[in-house]
């Protein structure tokens, strides 16, 4: 009995956990960026009223730059995690292929053995 192509190349069940972790990380980064944007906007309004429009713009730009750096850091982290997940997937796929091949060989040996047993014990 042979293994079909769809069985031989199935993704390991842990792959969805990896995808969920990446999705969670990106969602959190986007949420933090939106919160920071609201904070910058609120701060900009207060600073503009107190110290003038130019100071508010400079402060907003400075904070925006900080937020941008945080977002880039989060993106690099997510990219690194995605790369690690890809490596893990490749490793798991290779292991699964080995297991599948060994399983097929064992299945074949059992089928052959079963046939031999039936031949020995079949009444003439």
Residue 8 in any domain: the answer is no
Residue 58 in any domain: the answer is yes
* Overall domain count for the chain: 1
Residue 92 in any domain: the answer is yes
pTM over 0.75: no
For CA atoms 62, 63, 68, 73, give the dihedral sign. positive
Residue range 13-56, pLDDT digits in tens: 788 888 888 888 888 888 888 888 888 777 666 655 556 778 87
Residue 1 in any domain: the answer is no
| Domain carrying residue 57 | 14-121
Task: Read off φ and ψ for residue 116, nearest 5 degrees.
Answer: -65, -40
Residue range 72-89, pLDDT digits in tens: 999 999 999 999 999 999
Residue 6 in any domain: the answer is no
Q: How many residues does the chain have?
A: 124
Residue 4 in any domain: the answer is no
Residue 5 in any domain: the answer is no
Question: Which candidate, 62, 81, 109, places its Cα nearest to that of 19?
Answer: 81
Residue 46 in any domain: the answer is yes
**Which tokens go with 23?**
């999705």
């Amino acid at each position: 009995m042979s293994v079909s192509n769809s069985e031989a190349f199935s993704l390991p069940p842990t792959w969805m956990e990896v995808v969920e972790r990446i999705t969670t990380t990106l969602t959190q980064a986007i949420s933090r960026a939106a919160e920071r944007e609201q904070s910058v906007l609120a701060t900009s309004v207060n600073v503009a009223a107190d110290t003038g429009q130019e100071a508010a713009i400079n402060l907003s730009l400075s904070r925006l730059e900080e937020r941008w750096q945080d977002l880039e850091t989060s993106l690099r982290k997510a990219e690194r995690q995605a790369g690690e997940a890809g490596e893990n997937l490749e490793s798991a796929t290779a292991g699964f292929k080995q297991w599948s091949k060994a399983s097929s060989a064992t299945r074949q040996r059992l089928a052959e053995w079963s046939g031999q047993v039936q031949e020995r014990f079949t009444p003439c």
